[in-house]
Structure formats: structure tokens, C-alpha cells
Amino acid sequence: MQQTFYKFHGIGNDYIYFDCFDWTPKRPAVLARKLSDRHFSIGGDGIVLILPSKVADAEMRMFNADGSEGRMCGNAIRCVAKYLYDFKGIHKRDFTIDTAAGIKKLHLVSRSWDKEHANLFTVDMGKPKFDPARIPALFEGDRIVDHPLIVNDTTYRVTCLSMGNPHCVVFTEDPGSLDLEAVGPYFETHPAFPERINTEFVRVCGENQLEMRVWERGSGETLACGTGACAAAVAAVCNGFCQKNSEITVHLAGGILRVVYTGKTVLLTGPAELAFTGTVEV
């Protein structure tokens, strides 16, 4: 069975998207593992299904490259809104997308000169959750900020929170020198994180400027992570490196995301781009 796919990315965080308004794959986890292979298939960080919704403009389901289902992706959700604008003809400025982490609101910031293509969105990512039980993370107390954690015989200072999915933020002097392929899996599968964890290694590189590398559960190192950028910005505020209600620029391998943490919600702004379309046997 041949189906049209759309390859979108948010600063290099790339997924394979399917319009599932009239069709849905029977085994999306298997499909994600198959199609995400960058040598023998299309290649990507996973797949995203765009489905009809009774409570929002669309529903988003995402599956990581290993087939595990994710609850939220700040880069993928912008691409879903772009698909609705560019391909479904929903030409409006404000969108709602239903996700496993709840309904998210998006605002179209900029579009092409002919107004036919959406380029840049701001996503209201909601309020971060610090309660260890809601991350989940097996720590004592009501929040995990600058807390010691032994990972593979090395002690790290970590700040953990949920942005709809779990994150562990580590501030370090030189993220670029890390052997992330070696250390990332130890964080992801650490016993303190019963549902595994996304880990951000972050350097404060200027006033409201962060440099970040990310190891995503189920996908490994990716060029960008929207929820991870949000987690890094919130953690920077909690540790006194940045201020609330100010724009924090997060530099990732794939490009730049901009985050504002108000204390009540987190606003994420970034591009959504189409790489190519095609058909694939599913």
C-alpha cells in the first residue's frame, strides 16, 4: 500500500509525517522503526501521525526512531501546524493541536510573501512540572534543582522537570567535548528515571544565551529538541543563570530556538520547514 509522506524538520529535528484524516497505520511503532533508518529508508528522528480531532484543529501522535511513543515534541508540533496551513488550507493565525500532553496552542508568527506557506510559530508549551512523581523521577523533595546524581561512577548536578515529557538538564562548561554516544544512554536508562529521560547538556554562553546538546530517549542525539530547549531555559531560570519573562536564545546543532519562561507557562518560538515529500510502501 503506497502512502504519501511529508518530511518536515524544526532546525534539523526531522520527522516523517502522515496525513491520517482518512487512514491510519495499523502498527505505527513498527513503521517508525522501519522508516527512521537513515541508511535503508527515508530517515528521521521518528514518525508523526496527523489525525482529526473533535477538540482541536488536529491531533498529533509521535513515535520515536525506536518505536516508542512520545508524549510531546516542540519541534514536531510546529510542523503539524505548518502542514495544516500549507497543505490543508487552514489559513489562520492561531491553531490548537491535541497531544498526549494535552492541547497546545500555536500562533503563526511569520509566513511567505504570498501568504501561502507558514514559516515561524510560537507554541504555548504550558507550565513545567517540577514534582518528581510527575516527571517521573525517583528523588526526595518537591523539586529537583542542582541535585547530585551519580551516573556511571561520575557525579553530575542535575535539574529535572517535565515539559509534557521528562527532562534532565546538566549545566557543563563544554557540551561539545562530551562523548554523548557513550554518556547519553547511561542517563536515559538510569534507575532514577523509571520511564527513561531526555538529557540536555547546557553551557551558559552569554546573557540569556544557552548552548545545548541533547540526548533524546528513543532517538539518541538529535540536532534539536523543542521541549529540551524549554527545559534548559526553565532550568537556567531556576538556577539563577537567566531571568523570567525574558527571551532566552538556545543554540543547538541544528539552529536557534527562542524561549520565554513567564513562571506560569513556557513560550517556544522556532521555524517549521518542509524538506521533501514522496510516497512509501506501508
Question: What confidence tens digit (pLDDT) does each residue in 38-64 have?
Answer: 999 999 999 999 999 999 999 999 999
Contact in structure between 143 and 136 (CB atoms under 8 Å): no
> Do 143 and 90 share a domain, yes or no?
no
The amino acid sitting at 26 is K
Residue 2 has pLDDT above 90, yes or no: yes
pLDDT at 1 over 90: no
pLDDT at 214: 98
Same domain, 102 and 161: no
Answer yes or no: do 93 and 115 share one domain.
Answer: yes
| Sign of the four-CA dihedral 274, 275, 280, 282 | negative
113-171 pLDDT, tens digit per residue, is 999 999 999 999 999 999 999 999 999 999 999 999 999 999 999 999 999 999 999 99
Length of the chain: 282
Asked whether residue 117 falls in the same domain as residue 137, the answer is no
Whether 201 shows a pLDDT value over 90: the answer reads yes
pLDDT over 70, % of the chain: 100
CB neighbours (10 Å) of residue 32?
28
Shared-domain flag, residues 230 and 139: yes
Q: Are residues 180 and 252 in the same domain?
A: yes
Do 59 and 37 share a structural domain?
A: yes
Range of the domain at 98: 2-126+270-281
Beta bridge partners of 16: 7, 47
Query: Do 240 and 274 fall into the same domain?
Result: no
Q: Is 160 a catalytic residue?
A: no
The catalytic residue among 20, 160, 225, 242 is 225
Domain co-membership, 200 together with 114: no
Span 177-189, average pLDDT: 97
Round to whole Å and give the CA distance between 97 and 50: 9
CATH number of the structural domain spanning residue 146: 3.10.310.10
Return phi, psi of residue 150, to 5°: -90, 120
Q: Is 238 designated active site?
A: no
For residue 92, pLDDT beyond 90: yes
Res. 13: pLDDT tops 90? yes
* Contact call for residues 243 and 255 (beta carbons, < 8 A): no
What local confidence, expressed as pLDDT, does residue 208 receive? Answer: 96
Return d(Cα 266, Cα 227) in angstroms, integer.
10
143 phi and psi angles, rounded to 5 deg:
-160, 160
Label residues 186-198 b or e (16+ Cβ within 10 Å = b): ebbebebbeebbb
Q: Is the same domain home to 74 and 168?
A: no
175 lies in the same domain as 231: yes
Give pLDDT, residue 197.
98
Number of neighbouring beta carbons within 10 Å of residue 162: 24
Report the domain count for the chain.
2
Regarding whether 228 and 120 lie in a shared domain, the answer is no
